[in-house]
Amino acid sequence: MKRSDLLVDVPLGDWIDSIVRWMISAWDGLFGVIETILLGFHSVFSMILTTPPFWVILLVLIGLAFLAKGWKLALGSALGLILFVYGVGQWENAMHSLALVLVASLVAIILGVPQGILAARHKAVSVFVRPILDFLQTMPAFVYLIPFAMIFSLGVVPGIVATIFFAIAPAVRFTELGIRQVDSSVVEAAYAFGAHPRRVLYQVQLPLALPTIMAGINQVIMLSLSMVVIAGMVGAGGLGADVVQAIQRVNISLGAEAGTATVVLAMYLDRVTGAFGAKRRRNADD
């Protein structure tokens, strides 16, 4: 159906386009600062992950898997990373993608967890934030790339910013859910002993809600990795760049290698963060 055939024509796209162009003009300095900060953090993480020999980083990743869930996860991680990441020549790309995931996830967690705390403690904040989170979670991932590519131009920064917006919702939702699920009698007992609300939050509610918050962090990391691959379309590099190149050239071999490396990296991050979250849950139950 053509727009001219509609009885009601709402120029939503034109409005948003005008807003984005106004933001680019009015907030150019702010966007420049954000770009510098994010690019600096990404450069540091990339340098840490790519400068040492691959076996050094491999040992660190295997060590984290062992600490999370013992030798079985460590052995599985070693086999997957050696055979299907390093063995197919995707180690450096995987480390660049991991750096992007770490930066985006860290920012999403830093911004999302405090919002979840506010939403749990103030009903008005929860009512205000909920539709925004619904919007962020249901918006198609590709759409995020368009405005941020205009604001920051092509490169790693629009990929990071788009990933933050795409992945922040679980950090807010799970934090709010975890705090609300804390037994009200425990909170009331803390107040009865004269504890300050801030002390109740940091010493009672957050420790008991930590397993749920960790589950949210796990989801943030997984969503970040899924978006990082899509961000290859705007020049974010890493595994996403090879996936995009494979699509453009119809290169099945390259697509299979980059895709498999992405799956292995996703499985590693999911199992390790999930195991740490389960360990925190067992400690809380004890």
CATH number at residue 104: 1.10.3720.10
Nearest to 111, CA basis, from 175, 188, 55: 175
Residue 179 lies in a domain: yes
Domain assignment present for 251:
yes
Q: Is residue 101 part of a domain?
A: yes
- The answer as to whether 103 is a domain residue is yes
Residues 6+ apart with CB under 8 A from 113: 171, 172, 175, 213
Task: Print the domain residue range for 103.
Answer: 13-285
Q: Tokens 């400068």 correspond to what residue?
A: 51
User: How far, in Å, CA of 81 to CA of 222, rounded?
Assistant: 17
Mean pLDDT in residue range 175-204: 84
- pLDDT value, residue 7: 57
Mean pLDDT of 223-245: 81
Query: How confident is the model at residue 280, as a pLDDT?
Result: 64
Q: How many CB atoms lie within 10 A of CB 126?
A: 18
Average pLDDT over residues 206-229: 86
Q: Is the dihedral of CA 208, 214, 217, 223 positive or negative?
A: negative
Specify whether the CB–CB gap between 96 and 45 falls below 8 A.
Answer: no
Q: What is the rounded CA–CA span in Å between residue 181 and residue 158?
A: 36
Q: Three-state SS for 182?
A: coil
Interior angle at CA 167, CA 166 and CA 173, nearest 5: 115
The pTM of this model reads 0.87
The predicted model gives 108-129 an average pLDDT of 90
Alpha helices (H) along 51-155: 54-69, 71-81, 91-121, 123-138, 141-152
Domain count across the chain: 1
In a domain, 6, yes or no: no
Residue with tokens 């979250």: 277
- Is residue 107 over pLDDT 90? yes
Q: Is residue 8 part of a domain?
A: no
Domain-located, residue 4: no
Higher pLDDT, 43 or 229: 43
Least confident segment among 17-26, 39-48, 116-125, 254-263 = 17-26
**Does residue 5 sit within a domain?**
no
Confidence (pLDDT) at 4: 58
Sign of the C-alpha dihedral, residues 234, 235, 240, 244?
A: positive
